[in-house]
Amino acid sequence: MDRILEVKNLRVSFHTYIGEVQAVRGISFKLYEGETLAIVGESGCGKTVTAKSLMKLISMPPGEIKEGSEINLYTNIVGTNKKKTMCEEIVKMNKKRLKQLRGEDISMIFQDSMTSLNPTMKVGDQIAESLMMHTKYNKKECRKKAVELLKAVNIPNPEKRAKEYPHQFSGGMRQRAMIAIALACNPRILIADEPTTALDVTIQAQIMDLIKDLQKKSNMSVILVTHDLGVVANASDRIAVMYAGKIIERGTKRDIFYNPQHPYTWALLRSVPRLDIKNKASLYSLKGTPPDLLKPPKGCPFITRCEYCMPICREELPDITQISDSHLVRCWLKHSKAPKVNIPKMAGGEI
């Protein structure tokens, strides 16, 4: 697969009256054509800030994408003789190109559909507005296309629904309308930020199936931002686990679910409810809270919550260890001199 997006050493801070909050602290990853990359972690770990940074949607100020950060968008141009790859750096894009990028190249499903949709505009008009900004359709054609998009995301009676307001839609229908807006201009990359939040389980499954079906039809790449490992189990190809502004483990779906290497990943997996557990004990809960990113720890950010913490963990950030070609982890337990630790039950092979 060809790469479509590459992030290198992305660092994002917010300047507040009490100091600089280092929300994203030097992360790197690649996204390939047609794949789904899931970014998972607790609230406050930097997932949404990372997603918004890819489209430069961070308010600056107070936000700042630090110097040295790179977000590269790749476009393959097929010529008569050979394929040529063009690279654009999003961090350095001018306003005119950014306006074109948002919607045509990269689009986003925002976290809360109720607050993301304009309550004073009809749903069909909101979809048509996106089309009018990025296409050459006239107003009548845009409204017709809006109805087609509502039908494509399985909203019943789309002609009628296009003339209704967001408050007249259920939660699941609002989320489908958000997907219709995001897909209006056939983007190459779709960022889905917690697309199933506040929806019941059956609607969650329908939304994720809808995104997968639409992805297959257009070979679109998807970045799925979520805290729910149960959602990514069926929807993702690769997973990046974030904690305190850093990616601490990255690998294929099989790597993360069947061979997790970081204690935080173990904790996330142990906290997922399962139907096949014989022992009906209380569900595991990770104790403690993430570190204060006003003053991040100089060592591993997970030290205060890790039962395997060693003195070196407090002093230095661990290097990246390559477990396999697809699997990377940042943990001192992978050092040759570290004590051997057995993966807890309900993590890795026990799942």
Give tens-digit pLDDT for 124-155: 999 898 888 887 788 888 889 889 889 888 88
pLDDT band at 287 (very low <50, low <70, confident <90, very high): confident
pLDDT > 70 fraction of the chain, expressed in percent and rounded? 93
- Max CA pair span of the chain: 69
Helices (H), the chain: 47-53, 95-104, 113-116, 123-134, 139-152, 158-161, 171-183, 201-218, 229-235, 253-258, 263-270, 311-315
In tens, the pLDDT along 220-247 reads 999 999 888 878 888 889 999 999 999 9
pLDDT band at 191 (very low <50, low <70, confident <90, very high): very high
For residue 60, what pLDDT is reported?
84
- Of 27-31, 205-209, 301-305, 330-334, where does mean pLDDT reach its minimum? 205-209
pTM of the complete model? 0.89
- Which three-class secondary structure state does DSSP give residue 211? helix
Average pLDDT, the chain: 86
pLDDT at 349 over 50: no
Instruction: Report residue 16: phi and psi, to 5°.
Output: -115, 175
Distance in angstroms (rounded) separating the CA atoms of residues 138 and 276: 55
